[in-house]
Chains A and B, each alone.
Chain A
Amino acid sequence: MTAVRVLVGTQKGGFVLAADGGRTDWTVDGPYFGGWEIYHMAASPADPDRLYASQSTGWFGQVVQRSDDGGRSWHPVGNDLRYRGDPGTHLWYDGTPHPWEFTRIWHLEPSLTDPDTLFAGTEDAGLFVSTDGAATWTELPGLRTHHSAGSWQPGAGGLCVHTVLVDPSNPEHLHVAISAAGVFRSDDGGQTWVAANRGLRSEGIPDPDAETGHCVHRIARHPARPDVLFMQKHWDVMRSEDRGESWQEISGDLPSDFGFPIAVHAHEPDTVYVVPITSDSQHYPPDGRLRVYRTRVGGEEWEPLTRGLPQHDCYVNVLRNAMAVDTLDPCGIYFGTTGGQVYASSDAGDTWNPIVRDLPRVLSVEVQALS
């Protein structure tokens, strides 16, 4: 018997949505940590009962929660994330130097093989690792001390490491994405980093083809084809065939190439999903119609997926960490909106149903397929 667990982080707490493999009848548990912002909840691929949650508020700072029983109970673990040495400065919105300050964990990326090991991507941009189940954290300072880091500027949401990808074929190979600095790649487990933004072009920055300074919203890959990466940038949907060494635009016939999340089908490496948003100042779907777009050929040619999604008067957004896929067959797709809806498709996007409609603003969605 298979089952699915969807981990939903919202602006006012975390929720766990569960169903059997049919994915039609759902239970909704939560809110956990009510009143706190849950930027991310993540499950260990090595132990499905091991969950982690990033819990924060502007009042009380960062807390990290851990569950060892699949979310039935939680306990706070280590929240002391300190940059190593003098953290230095990056650029502030007005272009002046600004000290590096820890604000929150945006992204938790558990190891594929060890439930006690996980990465944390933070605001201000840093990468931390824990090898003791999040009891203690150590910064991998090579990212923050990249030669370009003094010129990084925050995006509207802050200067944040919002995506961490671990190559399943070689866990020393990491990618991170930073708003608004771009993609960085490490081949030595996070000790040293190179910028991986060649081919990105961003109007509105002094040099549109700069090595860094691009507002990358999300990157994704299929685990069986780790060299190929897909990206939703501030504007433009992009693809790399060479682990981010170079990028090509694949926006093709999308109604807008602005958006936040991007996800890859669990079984079809060239099937990719995005949610077009009207523009950088109009964070809602074009024409008030919530449409997921799917390509089955790796980009350029996109089809709208609308069945079950509101097709009039819909002005919600889907944030960068708020889309995920399960590994069942057919592949399930899930996304949450700023209006508090969580939609699920159990047929690879052909049809959609809301699991729940009235949660707080959804910040992140992850999914586990359980056997």
Chain B
Amino acid sequence: MIRVVLPQHLSALAGTGREIELDIDGPATQRLVLDTLESAYPMLRGTVRDPATRRRRPFIRFFAGNQDLSHEPPDAPLPEAVAAGTEPFHVVGAMAGG
């Protein structure tokens, strides 16, 4: 089980709380977590990743613990604590503009 924390706008769009739990089918990577997220909540497709390129949108960041995972390869393993469900995977809207 992976815990994912969404920014307020996306949790409102998905009709969920800020933290959701996902059961993933395979090793925990950004790609698999986000694929599973979009499968469970199809209204989030295109809001975290570009729908065509599947690349992270420019003003989105991924954090876990004290690490910025935004620039990690999408198929790199996530930290053990995230894979074990003891730390959440944070999807963050960058602080910019208003």
In the complex, residue of chain A having the shortest beta-carbon distance to the beta carbon of B50: A61
Our pick among B43, B51, B52, B59 for the contact of A59 (Cβ within 8 Å) is: B59
CA distance A280 to B60 in the complex (A): 34
In the complex, residue of chain A having the shortest beta-carbon distance to the beta carbon of B52: A82
User: Looking at chain A, what size class is its interface with the partner chain?
Assistant: 10 to 19
Q: A59-B9, A63-B13 known; A80 and B46 CB under 8 Å?
A: yes
Contacts of B46 in A (CB 8 A): 61-63, 79-80
Indicate if the CB atoms of B13 and A76 lie closer than 8 Å: yes
Our pick among A35, A60, A75, A82 for the contact of B47 (Cβ within 8 Å) is: A60
Indicate if the CB atoms of A35 and B45 lie closer than 8 Å: no
The answer to whether the Cβ of A130 comes within 8 Å of any Cβ in the partner chain is: no
In the complex, residue of chain A having the shortest beta-carbon distance to the beta carbon of B94: A59
Chain B 34-75 residues near chain A, CB threshold 8 A: 43, 45-48, 50-52, 57, 59-60
User: Chain A's nearest CB lies how many Å from the CB of B31?
Assistant: 18
CA distance A60 to B8 in the complex (A): 11
The answer to whether the Cβ of B79 comes within 8 Å of any Cβ in the partner chain is: no
Indicate if the CB atoms of A35 and B9 lie closer than 8 Å: yes
CA distance A60 to B92 in the complex (A): 10
User: Chain A's nearest CB lies how many Å from the CB of B42?
Assistant: 8
Contacts of A36 in B (CB 8 A): 9
User: Chain B's nearest CB lies how many Å from the CB of A241?
Assistant: 42
CA distance A59 to B96 in the complex (A): 9
Indicate if the CB atoms of B51 and A79 lie closer than 8 Å: yes
The answer to whether the Cβ of B26 comes within 8 Å of any Cβ in the partner chain is: no
Known contacts A60-B60, A63-B13, A79-B45; 20 additional CB pairs below 8 A are A35-B9, A57-B9, A58-B59, A59-B7, A59-B9, A59-B57, A59-B59, A59-B60, A59-B94, A59-B96, A60-B9, A60-B10, A60-B13, A61-B47, A61-B57, A63-B46, A75-B43, A76-B13, A79-B47, A82-B52
19 contacts between A and B (CB under 8 A): A36-B9, A57-B9, A58-B97, A59-B57, A59-B59, A59-B96, A60-B9, A60-B47, A60-B48, A60-B57, A61-B50, A63-B13, A63-B43, A63-B46, A79-B45, A79-B51, A80-B51, A82-B51, A82-B52
Binding site for A on B (CB under 8 A): 7-10, 13, 43, 45-48, 50-52, 57, 59-60, 93-94, 96-97
